[in-house]
Amino acid sequence: MSDAQHDPENFCYRHPDRQSYILCQRCGRTICPECSTQAAVGVHCPECVKEARQSAPKRKPRLVTAFRRSSSTPVVTYTLIAINLVMFALQWLSGGAVTTALYYAPYLTAIEPWTMLTSAFLHSQGSFFHILFNMYALFAFGPALESLLGRGRYIALYLLTAFGGSVGVLLLGTPEMAVLGASGAIFGLLGAYFVMARGMGGNTTQLVIVIALNLGIGFLFPNSIAWQAHVGGLVTGLLIAFIFLRTRREDRKAWQIGLLIATAIVLVAVTILAVVLKGYPTL
């Protein structure tokens, strides 16, 4: 056997009994086929592969990066859709118990005030079209508004318009009405979209037609659609969007927050006054 064959440099550094002429492209050490890992150029030994993995930049899952403020993913819209779908599933699985516990009835406003919001996350179990239409509208208009307003303002808009929809039912509906659905909030988004688009010089003709048609359907089928919630949500959405437009400059941020709080206080005050004037039961 020649001296070259006895040369330690010709044997795998991890397996000294295995002769090889393969060199790690990174460190130059001899490795056997079992210890070699194919790289973009040549092969690497196990230690170099481990070192490269440790020094590589850590990439966070897309689900994590989606929640960053800088992300363009409409996280709030998707979350709202998910909540509505989960609640719809719970309505079915509970045999209607969730519906009974969380729907809104005007005469129970003072006794169960939380239902003015919880009812906006429920939908009719008698027809899949109810939730399908609302979730489609949320998916169609929500991302644009979320991108335009930012997540915080968008959440405030959605919740306040959902509340405004219930206030509309309280003012315009009958005491025994049983109301549920995201329609009040959806009409609030449509109203806000209209104001924002007009304020920025956009064409709103088609949107006006959509709003008018859906309002008209509510009036044509008053026993199956709570048009009162549509009106309440729409008016609230128009008002909040007007506030956003008038206070969009950074130096008016405090005014914006104050006016949003004032809007919530007015809605609460109107609710209390309506309950008293209509003689609904209180605690």
Q: Is 230 a catalytic residue?
A: yes
Instruction: Choose the catalytic residue: 36, 119, 166, 183.
Output: 183
Buried residues in 238-268 as b, exposed as e (16+ CB within 10 A):
bbbbbbbeebeeeeeeeebeebbeebeeebe
pLDDT surpassing 50 at residue 2: no
Nearest CA to 79 out of 71, 70, 67, 69 is that of: 67
Domain ranges (residues) in the chain: 3-55, 74-278
Fold of 74-278: Rhomboid-like fold (1.20.1540)
User: Which residues have C-beta within 8 Å of that of residue 181, sequence separation ≥ 6?
Assistant: 119, 120, 122, 123, 124, 130, 134, 226, 229
- For the stretch 215-237, pLDDT in tens is 777 666 666 678 899 999 999 99
Q: Is 36 a catalytic residue?
A: no
CA dihedral 150, 153, 154, 158 (to 10 degrees): 180
Question: H helices then E strands: how many in the chain?
Answer: 12, 4
Rg of the chain over all Cα atoms, to the nearest angstrom: 31
Could you tell me the pLDDT band of residue 242, with boundaries at 50, 70 and 90? very high
- For the stretch 92-140, pLDDT in tens is 999 999 999 999 999 999 999 999 999 999 999 888 888 998 999 999 9
- For the stretch 25-69, pLDDT in tens is 888 888 888 888 887 777 888 988 888 888 766 665 554 444 455
SS3 (DSSP) at 182: coil
According to the model, what pLDDT value does residue 13 have?
A: 87
Instruction: Choose the catalytic residue: 44, 123, 130, 230.
Output: 230
- Structure tokens, 30: 């001899």
Nearest CA to 166 out of 196, 187, 143 is that of: 187
